[in-house]
Structure 1
Amino acid sequence: MKRDNMLNKKFLKLLACLVLAGSLYAQAQTKHSFSFGDQDFMLDGKPFQMISGEMHYPRVPREAWRARMKMAKAMGLNTIGTYVFWNLHEPQKGKFDFSGNNDVAEFVKIAQQEGLWVILRPSPYVCAEWEFGGYPYWLQNEKGLIVRSKEKQYLDEYRKYIIEIGKQLAPLQINHGGNILMVQIENEYGSYAADKEYLTINESLFKEAGFDGLLYTCDPANDVAKGHLPGLLPAVNGIDNPAKVKKLVNDNHGGKGPYYIAEWYPAWFDWWGTKHHTVPASKYVGPLDSVLTAGISINMYMFHGGTTRGFMNGANYKDTSPYEPQTSSYDYDAPLDEAGNATAKFMAFRNVIAKHLPPGTNLPEVPAAKPSMAIESIKLTGSGALTENLPVARKSEHPLTFEDMNQDYGYVLYRTTLENAKSGVLKISALRDYAIIMLNGKRAGILDRRLKQDSLAITIPAGTVTLDILVENMGRINFGKYLLENKKGITKQVMLGGKELLGWNMYSLPFSDVSKLKYKMTDTDAPVVKKGAFELTTIADTYLDMRKWGKGVVWINGHNLGKYWSIGAQQTLYVPAEWLKKGNNEVVVLELLKSDQNELSSLSKPILDLQQ
């Protein structure tokens, strides 16, 4: 009897799963129509107001995508917006990757299963505080190639990319039974140039890739006329005055709508060395209410920022301001915090949105906050000098850039030998971006592009001396004209006392795989790698407290959590519960400045607003 009951339970469970799967499949196959009315978007012939929030699939662990979608529904969103990131999907020329956290098609499908529409933004330029604005580094190795232009090589590579994206995502458009309502071509192009022929080429490439539904452009208010392509819907970024939004769209779209704010900013992002940006919800409640009352569709940038992990942070740079590399935390003071929990801003926006729901519609309950914990101190028992982990050298009379070495991200160690050299001023022209200078393995100084530093006086010992310069790529510029000047490393020459230094060995350190690092104990003040392990009986989110450390990167169970830097304001690294496991967990730290640290602690809450 007991066995029969067990079999019955298993059968009923299987039957329930099949029913659910059938329901989701039927939902996915339901045909819908989406079109432009004179004033409104029309979904199945009826007015439809998009209440959308931006959320980027690589900034959230794949295992947590569905949970974040449920939070979006609970706030009242009916749509999710996301960029598509070229440098993730074609990290090396001709080698495409849509696996794991890069499975953007699965991200879109999960949104559909959760009852959400999608706005897709493959651009291919995205900005997004993302490395090189989303462009793959190797484009810079194509001689003469100019991004965001009609230059033939760029268009050839762009075409190959967008065709691959189309294979993944074009079948998921609403006119093919999917949930992608609209697709954006280019991205704030009016802030960069005004070449309508270039925009027309973009449109034709998208159509060739299978994006045969509704296309649109988006630009800040002052740049809409320059960045809009006649015939497409002009979306507006950065303003929320209903009258101004409608006038801008009318002026550029034949006197009619529909009206869409493609980027409505409820806060802002952070960069290293500045305060954490926060803006109270009270500043936005009124404008959100007025926009929704006016029937205007909206996309919050960001609804959920998440984390820019690995080496994917970008940087801003203008002639009038310093180089500004962005932090790993992309919390953004968004309605959903970095870990995916509802904030006061979330609840305030939810209350506004609830007022604009169709009669009889109720919002789902807000899911409980994810549990978090502080882990007992983690001892790092393995320690090794970075110089004990060097690969085979690349040799050249003159320093090579990262791109010359076919290296995308991370670090390069430049080494040369000095024979009876005189002490003097070491000058590194056009350093990109941060350098630790070492003489015979001991740190002699630091140069930081943010501070416009390119030289320092060094005292050189007598005899034969090894000069090492460890250079970090702190993020390629993601906005403006300097997209065209984005090579990394030592991009010109190194001078000592006014004389150029020649005869370099270069060691590529991309840190794309930390499983084979060597931990030979070394007493040094130079950069080191550290390794430790810790046991868990309970799994929850946690935040590594890096306040006692200097500058570097942390990996947990092989996952790159991002960068830390004592200058702040970010002082913690978010560790998602999804990447921890019961039992043994491994941690690896690359530390550039404080090689004597041997212990990690963690907190149950982040510290994002402390500068040192």
Structure 2
Amino acid sequence: MKKKYIYIALSLFLCAKAPAQTQPINGSHTFALGDEAFMLDGKPFQMISGEMHYPRVPRAAWRSRMKMAKAMGLNTIGTYVFWNVHEPQKGKFSFSGEDDITEFVNIAKQEGLWVVLRPSPYVCAEWEFGGYPYWLQNEKGLVVRSKETQYLKEYEAYIKEVGKRLAPLQINHGGNILMVQIENEYGSYGSDKEYLAINQRMFKEAGFDGLLYTCDPAADLVAGHLPGLMPAVNGLDDPAKVKTLIRENHNGKGPFYIAEWYPAWFDWWGTTHHTVPAKDYASKLDGVLGAGISINMYMFHGGTTRGFMNGANYKETTAFEPQISSYDYDAPLDEAGNATPKFMAFREVIEKHLPAGKKLPAVPAAKPTVSVPAFKLTQQAVLLSNLPAAVKNATPLTFEDLNQDYGYVLYRTKLTGGKSGLLKLTDLRDYAVVMVNGKMIGTLDRRLKQDGMEVNLPKGEVTLDLLVENMGRINFGKFLLQNKKGITENVSFAGNELKGWQMYSLPFADTKALKFTAATGKNSNESPVVRKGSFTLSNVADTYFDMESWGKGVVWVNGHNLGKYWGIGPQQTVYVPAEWLKKGANEVVVLELLKPEQTELQGIQKPVLDKLGKPTILKISAVK
């Protein structure tokens, strides 16, 4: 095993000596379906694609990641288009800055890469609400993934905005987008061919007049395929089975395309880090390519699900499974964009199947990393002292009722103390920090099917605060229709429903409105707090904040939300990309829910993505 890693390290070093070669895609081209293969400019073309999502990679790093794709032997990049990224609020579209997918596609063209576009508009992707914007749930009667009128109206408005920007980049218009996927694994959800035909029509009306296709897992392909379009299969890599299945659903013909080939998997909070040995999949890749089958590996590069955009799975047997912020995915390219042993193994396989005389570009050198010595977060903003104006209602309101997308809502009411009883939050979604008179007394976690705790209230008038976190809307399955967040029903104490609530929206879109003071430590261990500090760099490079001694929260650096951390693991570090750092002082802000006494942070040179920890348990149940 040691020899293997020495060989890989030596390969990376030697390959780094020569610069990567770039040949942009220029001129006009044609792309069509042959009976057995794709036809590019009239010649058979085997697509070797890798999935990479633009919102999971800093814009400034898109090009370097694509150079890595070329170096592994990919000729195509696959990406979803994320509705909730581009229309975060109804009618308000964003396609600039970090959301500039047009630039993402153009950079791919400059780097000599074709693109497979997946606007869907449902994406799954371990992404919040499967890519749907939260506000769809506020449209009366709207039912996603259906022929319901309001849904189709909003869907059409969105896909036309996407079409304005991306339809001109299709290959039949001189661009590098080879083909476009409608819906996404629809067969795992439904089987309405009329609904799929409506998708096809809307895509065409939005300007997507090139090659359209559907993709589904093997077991669901018949249900999710629209006759007349090319079917693609997900999660199947037995060449004979792939060809048989596609022929059966495509008039006995190809081409043969595995739209999602899984050389790895994703993680969720509180479970072991998922890894798949490279040797187990290099041979499968060899077999698929040798059979002339085109693939899109999911993922080639996962990156990071930053901010509050992680999704969640929900299974009635295992309950709620929110995904972690790292989307490293054990992919060939790691979270920071560096080649892994899997990258080198796959590169070796792909090289075997290159046309005679063709060579792959050199592998770019691994990115440098830097350690950041421990530094203090010297300012604090106690959350309960930084509340916005309240919304009042007799009963608790959901995030959606408050027109709030992500983050947190603080629910507050007053009651007469001197009593003991069960505090119960009916249908909590998803995590609550319980406070009495400003002091934390416990937590409730939907993952663990916790919705209540015994509480001893002090005498007199008592203020009850419930800080509720949206841990990610469900992104797969029938529960897409049950995705409202917050306290979705009611709260009771000792069997009596509590009324008279004040709701404080805390979406944490940024931290600019917070009022910071010097961190004195006084009362810092009693309620959630936001801490701020800075560290200095003489040389800018990637680093990883070590969050293992912290509890649960979110980290920002220089205004960029890096994602969530939680001591239960398996992710114990937060990736800090060099692209968002600078020489000199760099500002760090940390929202800490469970261990507000923490004030120290450091950056280490390697990620820790495989260490489970014990949950922080607040055992106090009484306040004097």
TM-score, length-normalised on structure 1?
Answer: 0.95
C-alpha displacement of 1:321: 1.6
Give the corresponding residue for 1:246. Answer: 243
Structure 1 residues 245-264: aligned runs within 5 Å: 245-264=242-261
Separation in 2, partners of 1:513, 1:221:
42
User: Structure 2: how far apart are the matches of 1:387 and 1:442?
Assistant: 10
Q: Counterpart amino acid of 1:573?
A: V
Alignment of 1:314-333 (within 5 A): 314-333=311-330
What amino acid is aligned across from residue 75 of structure 1 in structure 2?
M
Q: What is the distance in 2 between the residues matched to 1:309 and 1:319?
A: 27
- How is 1:417-456 mapped onto 2 (pairs within 5 angstroms)? 417-420=414-417, 422-456=419-453
8 Å CA contact 2:555, 2:563 repeated in 1: yes
Match of 1:473 in 2: 470
Cα shift readout 1:290-328 (whole Å, capped 9, x = no counterpart): 100110000000000000000000000021222000000
Residues 424-573 of structure 1: pairs in structure 2 closer than 5 A:
424-520=421-517, 521=519, 522-524=522-524, 525-573=526-574
- Paired with 1:273 and 1:138, the residues of 2 have a C-alpha distance of 29
Select the residue among 126, 130, 137 that pairs with 1:129: 126
Equivalent residue for 1:81, pick from 78, 82, 88: 78
Q: Distance in 2 between matches of 1:421 and 1:190?
A: 56
Opposite residue 347 of structure 2, the aligned amino acid is R
What does 1:80-159 correspond to in 2, within 5 Å? 80-159=77-156
Cα deviation, 1:371-392, whole Å, max 9, x if unaligned, reads 0011111210001210011000
Cα deviation, residue 28, structure 1:
5.6
Superposition deviation, residue 516 in structure 1: 2.4
Task: Report what 2:602 is aligned to.
Answer: 601
Which residue does the alignment assign to 1:36? 33
Within-5 A mapping of 1:148-187: 148-187=145-184
Partners of 1:553 and 1:513 in 2: how far apart?
11
Gaps of 5+ in 1: 1-22
Partner of 1:353: 350
1:10 matched to which residue of 2? none
Provide the C-alpha distance between the structure 1 equivalents of 2:511 and 2:156, rounded to a whole number of angstroms. 34
What code does the residue aligned with 1:523 have? N
Give the match's secondary structure for 1:112.
helix
Residues 265-289 of structure 1 deviation map (CA, whole Å, 9 limit, x = unaligned): 0010000000110010000011100
Aligned equivalents of 1:281, 1:376: Cα separation in 2: 34
The one-letter amino acid paired with 1:93 is K
Aligned mate of 1:415, from 393, 412, 417: 412
**1: CA distance between counterparts of 2:213 and 2:607?**
38
Residue 376 of structure 1 aligns to a residue whose secondary structure is: strand
Could you tell me how far apart the structure 1 residues matched to 2:64 and 2:26 are?
Answer: 23
* Contact 1:190–1:219 under 8 Å retained in 2: yes
Give the Å deviation of 1:518: 1.3
Which residue number in structure 2 is paired with residue 380 of structure 1?
A: 377
TM-score (norm 2): 0.93
Aligned residues: 588
Instruction: Give the partner amino acid of 1:598.
Output: T
2:619 is aligned to none
Report the alpha carbon displacement of residue 421 of structure 1 after superposing the two structures with TM: 5.5
Counterpart CA distance in 2 for 1:444 and 1:30 is: 66
Say whether residues 1:340 and 2:337 are aligned partners: yes
**Partners in 1 of 2:290 and 2:265 — Cα distance?**
25
Give distance in 2, aligned partners of 1:504 and 1:410.
19
Any idea what SS the aligned residue of 2:63 has? helix
The Cα of 1:409 is off from its aligned counterpart by 0.1
1:534 Cα deviation from its structure 2 partner = 1.4
Structure 2 partner of 1:13: none
User: Is the 1:28–1:177 contact (alpha carbons within 8 Å) kept by the matching residues of 2?
Assistant: no
Which amino acid letter does the alignment assign opposite residue 311 of structure 1?
F
Aligned mates of 1:604, 1:584 — CA distance in 2: 19
Which residue of 2 is the match for residue 14 of structure 1? none
Q: Is the Cα–Cα contact under 8 Å of residues 436 and 469 in structure 1 kept in the other structure?
A: yes
Aligned pair in 2 of structure 1 residues 278, 402: CA closer, same or farther (>3 Å)?
A: same
* Displacement after TM superposition at 1:252 (Å): 0.3
Q: How big is the alpha-carbon RMSD for the aligned residues of Structure 1 and Structure 2?
A: 1.0
How far apart are the structure 2 equivalents of 1:339 and 1:51? 22
CA distance in 2, matches of 1:260, 1:367: 29
CA, structure 1 residues 560+189, in 2 after alignment: closer, same or farther (shift >3 Å)?
A: same
Whether the 8 Å CA contact 1:303–1:334 is kept in 2: the answer is yes
2:156 aligns to what SS in structure 1?
A: helix
* C-alpha contact (below 8 Å) 2:52/2:302 kept by paired residues: yes
Structure 2: give runs of 5+ residues left out of the alignment. 1-21, 614-624
Find the aligned partners of 1:265 and 1:29 in 2 and give their Cα distance: 31
> What corresponds to 1:370 in structure 2?
367
Deviation at 1:419, TM superposition (A): 2.1
1:237 aligned residue (215, 234, 237): 234
Cα separation, 2, equivalents of 1:378 and 1:540: 17
Aligned equivalents of 1:600, 1:215: Cα separation in 2: 49
Match of 2:15 in 1: none
Q: Which whole-Å CA distance do the structure 2 matches of 1:388 and 1:609 have between them?
A: 36
2:418–2:456 Cα contact (<8 Å) kept? no
The superposition leaves residues 207-230 of structure 1 with CA deviations (integer Å, 9 ceiling, x where unpaired) of: 000000000000000000000000
